[in-house]
Amino acid sequence: MSLKLAVKTLAAAAVTVAIFAPVSANAQAVTVSVVQQAPGSAVLDDGERLTANKYRQSPNGLYRLVQGGDGNLVLLDMSTKKALWSSQTHGNAGAYTVMQHDGNLVVKSAAGKALWSTKTFGNAGARLVVQNDGNAVIYSSSDQALWASVPGNFTLRADETLESNKYRQSANKLYRLVQGGDGNLVLLDTSTKKALWSSQTHGNAGAYTVMQHDGNLVVKSAAGKALWSTKTFGNAGARLVVQNDGNAVIYSSSDQALWSTKTAS
């Protein structure tokens, strides 16, 4: 998929940040005036870094990803001066952000200790793009979206969880993987409202779904008992992607398909 197409489709997939990416009050307090003089483009390339008060900005000038002097990496709406997302690494003066050669975006302390990362290692040559839709996205060298500052749109990454009525949605908004309040994990066609696939774990109110760090997608009861899984353990760093073709797929850190709902249209 080309970067141009990826940007267009991701623009259509923007979701309410308040639901999926709450920002701390400390992040909201970041001001824009201190970074007006810093140079920047829309892309943070392989090996590049942002030091205090440096940034990358969307081509339309409306959004800016800033490395704050307090250590917090913040995505700002330039029209409202409000933070849309942050790494919540404030309190670390001198911290910097680096787009590592392995594809992982990492906020590091002044001493070089990792404070936060996108967990996208294993993708040499990846880059971060600040888009016109207000989303900051990491793309692989083959233009596959690996991470986004608005994570509710298509990917469930390692250690992320879907609780009751939370979901991941394809970039074209036609398909949605929902953790039902009854415990059932369901892939829906949003145009017809019909279920294309489910984990068949209904009758378990309070259940949730977790993309475990070992690569296994598991539906667990409210008490933490495994009710269903993809049996894809042994693949650390794997992620689930809800695709535009109606298929939900688990990919390894090297982009190998490990499991799918087999619902591609």
Domains 3-148 and 155-260 share a fold: yes
pLDDT value for 153:
65
Q: Quote the percentage of the chain above a pLDDT of 90.
A: 65
**């996205």: which residue's tokens?**
137
Higher pLDDT: 57 or 13? It is: 57
Q: How confident is the model at residue 14 (pLDDT cuts 50, 70, 90)?
A: very low
The fold adopted by the segment(s) 3-148 is Agglutinin, subunit A (2.90.10)
**């984990």: which residue's tokens?**
199
Domain spans of the chain?
3-148, 155-260
Q: What is the pLDDT of residues 192-202, one digit of tens each?
A: 999 999 999 99
Alpha-carbon gap, residue 19 to 29, rounded angstroms: 20
Q: How confident is the model at residue 76 (pLDDT cuts 50, 70, 90)?
A: very high
Give me 28's structure tokens. 């909201």
Q: What is the pLDDT of residues 188-243, one digit of tens each?
A: 999 999 999 999 999 999 999 999 999 999 999 999 999 999 999 999 989 999 98
pLDDT value for 143:
85
| Region 155-260: CATH code | 2.90.10.10
Give me 198's structure tokens. 């489910």
SS3 10: helix
Q: How confident is the model at residue 151 (pLDDT cuts 50, 70, 90)?
A: low
Q: pTM of the prediction?
A: 0.51
Of 41, 22, 42, 34, residue with least CA distance to 67: 34
Residue-wise burial string across 115-146, b where 16 or more C-beta atoms lie within 10 A, e elsewhere: bbbbbbbbbeebbbbbbbbbbbbbbbeeeebb
For CA atoms 131, 136, 141, 144, give the dihedral sign: negative
* DSSP track, 152-202: TTTEE-TT-EE-TT-EEE-TTSSEEEEE-TTS-EEEEETTTTEEEEE----
166-172 average pLDDT score: 84
Q: Which residues, other chains included, contact 228 with Cβ-Cβ below 8 Å and sequence gap of 6+?
A: 185, 199, 200, 201, 218, 219
Mean pLDDT of the chain: 84
Answer whether 117's CB lies under 8 Å from 138's CB: no
Q: Which residues, other chains included, contact 138 with Cβ-Cβ below 8 Å and sequence gap of 6+?
A: 103, 105, 118, 120, 123, 126, 127, 128, 129, 145, 146, 147, 148
Q: What is the pLDDT of residues 90-106, one digit of tens each?
A: 999 999 999 999 999 99
